[in-house]
A and B are shown apart, each in its own frame.
Chain A
Amino acid sequence: MSEPTSSEKYYVPASSHWPILCCVALFTFFAGIGRWLHELPSGPWVWLGGVALLVVVLFGWFGTVISENLSGVYNEQVGRSFRSGMKLLILSEVVFFAGFFGGYFFIRLWGVPMLGGEVHPITSVMLWPDFTADWPLLTNPDNGRFLGATDLGSPWGVPLANTLLLLTSSVTLTYAHRAVGSGHDGILKIGLLLTILLGVTFLGLQAHEYMNDYERNNLTLNAGIYGSVFYLLTGFHGFHVLVGVIMISTMLGRAMKGHFSRPGDHFALEGVAWYWHFVDVVWLLLFLFVYWL
């Protein structure tokens, strides 16, 4: 096993068992979902095992990094590497959402109009002559197999409230971030706590909307393409908000322990802040193009 080495310029960590455990966890996690989807009784249990192991790994791995940081072995180069890594991770997330948005616009601006007889009228004549292209699409070409939604909520209700919630949360987080290392731990903790509360409220409202859509508007995953893209985009966004809330809660826990009170390099908070702002921007685009226009 290799020992950690550190010259004045570089820090190279020792060998670690967390990454391989993480792979085992992911394998179990996915194998569990697979078995679950195929209705094998062991599925949910395997999946839960994967989740549990993943939680252990995340605690262990991040715990190691945090204690290394606290013990002061990191140097400026490590800080730069972490920052670069986080920026690139966010870039990959941007691409992930860009792919979904690309699909959304393709369907909305090209796929559905084509089905309605634009470009090549023969398409609609041969397949579904009664179909009229519309957006949001409530009546599907084959409305027997995919029963469209009956109604859609207004963007000026809950979605607008959610927009305001997230925008405010970006402000509170920036406020908290500014207090790092300045000795004002109180501001930091309050800022983080407010951000978490706003995020949780967002999630609660979103869940409430989903239930409403499902029960009253028949806007389901089965409701044809509109339901599909709607839940894909908002669902993955909601998942990212959840991850963000968990990360900020971790930061709050660390702030309670006083990790951020001394001046110095506090990459973790910075990275989490970047992530949260990114999630915020995605929501603005969602609000603009999916809910409103």
Chain B
Amino acid sequence: MANGATAAAVPQSVPKRMIAFIVRWTTATNHKDIGTLYLCTALLNLFLGGTLALCIRAELFIPGLQFVEPNFFNTLTTMHGLIMLFGFIMPVAVGFANWLIPMMIGAPDMALPRLNNMSFWLLPTATIMLVSTLFMDGGAPNFGWTMYAPLSTTYGPPSTDYMIFAVHMLGISSIMGSINIITTIATMRAPGMTWMKLPVFVWTWLVTAFLLIGIMPVLAGAVTMMLFDRNFGTAFFDAAGGGDPLLFQHIFWFFGHPEVYVLALPAFGIISQIIPTFSRKPLFGYRTMVMATILIGFLSYIVWAHHMFTSGMPYGAQLYFMLATMLIAVPTGMKVFNWITTMFRGSISFETPMLFAIAFVFMFTFAGCTGVMLAVAPADFQYHDSYFVVAHFHYVLVNGLTFAFLAGAYYWYPKFWGRMYNERLGKIHFWLSTISVNVLFFPQHFLGLAGMPRRIPDYALQFVDFNFISSIGAFVFGFSQLIFVYNMISSRHRGAPASDQVWEGAEGLEWTLSSPPPHHSFQTPPRVD
């Protein structure tokens, strides 16, 4: 039997090794394996979505139609948005959750490991279905990631049905993932790990998971109605039958706004772990941080119609949604205040993760300010559907959240793999990214304020200069990310061995484990006091 075991461990031939490889990863139930799968998939999707974005920016380099025809341009923006949101940002957050939550709370694994595997593999399954629409007759969905009816019902291409099914599968995946995360946090904490001792990252994910359970079923319902309107003659979004296209917008944004915080809260959590480490001070205001997280989660459910000021709403409702939206700035401001105060009088050092974290604080705060501008209902009549919106949400999503996840990737890389990344390349990556991302998105504010609409393949001549600058920034930013990939891959074997503590100022259970940590993180629960 010993013979058989060795043969299974080191298969001889190449096909056999390939099969062993596939079996290992498709059947994985270990939280680290699944975390790695999530992170790698997210990175692939970042490049897929990024390629589409570069196609968009190439078309917008100069006015006129150069490379793509208008309908294909619309499919590019739609697929870019969908892939970035569902294929990159959400999975990257879940990948960190899988890796870190068991280690941070002192557990051996997630509570429901087989469910965990299914949550992950539904993601590539759905992505394949989504991307396959690009090759279908009539083209891929072309109505934007917001899928407004009737563009998606009466006028949507046939492939829309497959997009709907992809969204269904993504929804199942997120719901199962959230169930797993909440259950893990609720039932697997090490003895002595009370709620108010949970690391902030775990807290943010707890709230995020509840947000997901509160919105993904609603999105599933919305696209189901869309499916019925398209195929079975119902009239949910058709006023001729007594339905209402505005119903779609309300349901969609009831999902859509909390979704923004689903993406943002885990990023806040990562930043809240990194800044204390490199300031060599405990996080300022842990309690307010937790309260702010919960408050943001709650408020995010009741502000959705700020996306619909121009769709038609009674004045009272506009006033309410405007004020409620501005209220969210308060807990978010608390967080920013706490991050800055943590740094205040700390002995700060500027390793790559800290650089990205500090850049996050600056640029995310800036994005928050343009957000407050957009919340002003009368002003939004000017900004709505212009490049100003595009600039705003890219400052949130790219300059903000993507930077936070890059910070997290550098920060925990030595812990995950037992090797240091290359610090010099990290710094080069940081400076190139930070400069180019601002060249890319900052001018878009001016474009929007001057009236350039979003989702448009051609533009008037007064917009030439800023578009030109923006496109240059886009290509530099896109290609800079290759440095990151190179650094991650090459340091895996060539990096200097990392100590268990890795960062001098780091605190938390994950740093008590070896680097890389054992397969099942904590076999016997540690005691926390």
Say whether A associates with B.
yes
Chain A residues packing against B (C-beta within 8 Å): 1-2, 5, 7, 9-10, 12-20, 22-24, 26-27, 30-31, 33-34, 37-38, 61, 77, 80-81, 84-85, 88-89, 91-93, 95-96, 98-100, 102-103, 106-107, 110-112, 114-115, 119, 127, 137, 140-142, 145-146, 220-222, 224-229, 231-232
| Chain A residue with Cβ nearest B182 | A88
| Chain A residue with Cβ nearest B174 | A92
A89-B213 Cα distance, complex, nearest whole Å: 9
Q: Looking at the complex, which one of B125, B188, B232, B250 makes contact with A221 (CB distance below 8 Å)?
A: B232
| Chain A residue with Cβ nearest B185 | A84
B509 contacts the other chain (Cβ, under 8 Å)?
A: no
Query: In the complex where A92-B217, A142-B241 touch, is A34 in contact with B169 (Cβ < 8 A)?
Result: no
Q: Looking at the complex, which one of A1, A99, A107, A112 makes contact with B222 (CB distance below 8 Å)?
A: A99
Whether B243 and A111, one on each chain, are in contact in the complex, defined by CB atoms closer than 8 angstroms, is: yes
Query: In the complex where A15-B27, A16-B27, A84-B186 touch, is A146 in contact with B251 (Cβ < 8 A)?
Result: no
A114-B216 Cα distance, complex, nearest whole Å: 29
Query: In the complex where A81-B111, A146-B241 touch, is A2 in contact with B125 (Cβ < 8 A)?
Result: no
| Shortest Cβ distance from residue A268 to the other chain B in the assembled complex, whole angstroms | 15
Whether A19 and B251, one on each chain, are in contact in the complex, defined by CB atoms closer than 8 angstroms, is: no
Q: Looking at the complex, which one of B29, B217, B236 makes contact with A228 (CB distance below 8 Å)?
A: B236
B234 contacts the other chain (Cβ, under 8 Å)?
A: yes
CB-CB < 8 A to B162: which residues of A?
30-31, 34
Whether A107 and B242, one on each chain, are in contact in the complex, defined by CB atoms closer than 8 angstroms, is: yes
A173-B143 Cα distance, complex, nearest whole Å: 48
Query: In the complex where A30-B129, A232-B225 touch, is A17 in contact with B27 (Cβ < 8 A)?
Result: yes
Query: In the complex where A137-B242, A146-B235 touch, is A106 in contact with B214 (Cβ < 8 A)?
Result: no
| Shortest Cβ distance from residue B91 to the other chain A in the assembled complex, whole angstroms | 15
Whether B161 and A38, one on each chain, are in contact in the complex, defined by CB atoms closer than 8 angstroms, is: yes
CB-CB < 8 A to A20: which residues of B?
26-27, 117-118, 121
Q: Which 5 A-B pairs have the closest CB atoms?
A: A225-B242, A19-B118, A146-B241, A142-B240, A111-B244
Query: In the complex where A17-B26, A95-B213, A95-B217 touch, is A106 in contact with B244 (Cβ < 8 A)?
Result: yes
Provide the main secondary structure of the chain B interface: helix
Interface centre among A34, A84, A89, A99 (most CB of B within 10 A): A99
A98-B214 Cα distance, complex, nearest whole Å: 10
B108 contacts the other chain (Cβ, under 8 Å)?
A: yes
B513 contacts the other chain (Cβ, under 8 Å)?
A: no
B183 contacts the other chain (Cβ, under 8 Å)?
A: yes
| Shortest Cβ distance from residue A1 to the other chain B in the assembled complex, whole angstroms | 7
Q: Looking at the complex, which one of A37, A84, A226 makes contact with B111 (CB distance below 8 Å)?
A: A84
A7-B242 Cα distance, complex, nearest whole Å: 60
Interface centre among B122, B234, B241 (most CB of A within 10 A): B241
Pull 6 A–B residue pairs with CB atoms less than 8 Å apart, ordered by A. Answer: A19-B114, A34-B165, A89-B179, A92-B175, A92-B217, A141-B241
A-B contacts at CB below 8 angstroms, number: 217
| Chain A residue with Cβ nearest B107 | A10
Whether B28 and A15, one on each chain, are in contact in the complex, defined by CB atoms closer than 8 angstroms, is: yes
A93-B241 Cα distance, complex, nearest whole Å: 28
B231 contacts the other chain (Cβ, under 8 Å)?
A: yes
Chain B residues packing against A (C-beta within 8 Å): 23-24, 26-30, 107-109, 111-115, 117-118, 121-122, 125, 128-129, 158, 161-162, 165, 168-169, 172, 175, 178-180, 182-184, 186-188, 213-218, 220-222, 224-225, 228, 231-236, 238-244, 246-247, 250-251, 254, 314, 519-520, 523-525
Beyond A30-B169, A95-B214, 11 additional contacts (C-beta under 8 Å) are A1-B24, A13-B113, A16-B29, A19-B27, A27-B128, A31-B162, A81-B112, A96-B221, A99-B254, A140-B241, A221-B234
Whether B242 and A27, one on each chain, are in contact in the complex, defined by CB atoms closer than 8 angstroms, is: no
Query: In the complex where A84-B183, A103-B221 touch, is A10 in contact with B108 (Cβ < 8 A)?
Result: yes
CB-CB < 8 A to B179: which residues of A?
85, 88-89, 92
Whether A111 and B247, one on each chain, are in contact in the complex, defined by CB atoms closer than 8 angstroms, is: yes
A140-B239 Cα distance, complex, nearest whole Å: 9
A222-B165 Cα distance, complex, nearest whole Å: 23
A110-B246 Cα distance, complex, nearest whole Å: 11
Whether B213 and A225, one on each chain, are in contact in the complex, defined by CB atoms closer than 8 angstroms, is: no
| Chain B residue with Cβ nearest A131 | B242
A112-B243 Cα distance, complex, nearest whole Å: 7
Whether B246 and A111, one on each chain, are in contact in the complex, defined by CB atoms closer than 8 angstroms, is: yes
A10-B162 Cα distance, complex, nearest whole Å: 41
| Shortest Cβ distance from residue A28 to the other chain B in the assembled complex, whole angstroms | 10
Whether A88 and B129, one on each chain, are in contact in the complex, defined by CB atoms closer than 8 angstroms, is: no
Whether A85 and B218, one on each chain, are in contact in the complex, defined by CB atoms closer than 8 angstroms, is: no
Whether A31 and B236, one on each chain, are in contact in the complex, defined by CB atoms closer than 8 angstroms, is: no
CB-CB < 8 A to A142: which residues of B?
240-241
| Shortest Cβ distance from residue B205 to the other chain A in the assembled complex, whole angstroms | 14
| Shortest Cβ distance from residue A148 to the other chain B in the assembled complex, whole angstroms | 8
A61-B169 Cα distance, complex, nearest whole Å: 19
CB-CB < 8 A to B169: which residues of A?
26-27, 30
Whether B221 and A19, one on each chain, are in contact in the complex, defined by CB atoms closer than 8 angstroms, is: no
CB-CB < 8 A to A114: which residues of B?
244
A229-B241 Cα distance, complex, nearest whole Å: 12
| Shortest Cβ distance from residue A179 to the other chain B in the assembled complex, whole angstroms | 28
CB-CB < 8 A to B519: which residues of A?
2
A110-B23 Cα distance, complex, nearest whole Å: 54
Whether B222 and A38, one on each chain, are in contact in the complex, defined by CB atoms closer than 8 angstroms, is: no
CB-CB < 8 A to B525: which residues of A?
9
| Chain B residue with Cβ nearest A33 | B165
Whether B117 and A16, one on each chain, are in contact in the complex, defined by CB atoms closer than 8 angstroms, is: yes
| Shortest Cβ distance from residue A126 to the other chain B in the assembled complex, whole angstroms | 11
CB-CB < 8 A to A23: which residues of B?
118, 121-122, 125
Q: Looking at the complex, which one of A7, A92, A146, A224 makes contact with B524 (CB distance below 8 Å)?
A: A7
CB-CB < 8 A to B108: which residues of A?
5, 7, 10, 12
| Shortest Cβ distance from residue B405 to the other chain A in the assembled complex, whole angstroms | 25
CB-CB < 8 A to A22: which residues of B?
118
| Shortest Cβ distance from residue A43 to the other chain B in the assembled complex, whole angstroms | 11
Whether B109 and A12, one on each chain, are in contact in the complex, defined by CB atoms closer than 8 angstroms, is: yes
CB-CB < 8 A to B172: which residues of A?
26
Query: In the complex where A84-B183, A88-B179, A140-B240 touch, is A12 in contact with B217 (Cβ < 8 A)?
Result: no
Whether B117 and A81, one on each chain, are in contact in the complex, defined by CB atoms closer than 8 angstroms, is: no
| Shortest Cβ distance from residue A92 to the other chain B in the assembled complex, whole angstroms | 5
A155-B283 Cα distance, complex, nearest whole Å: 60
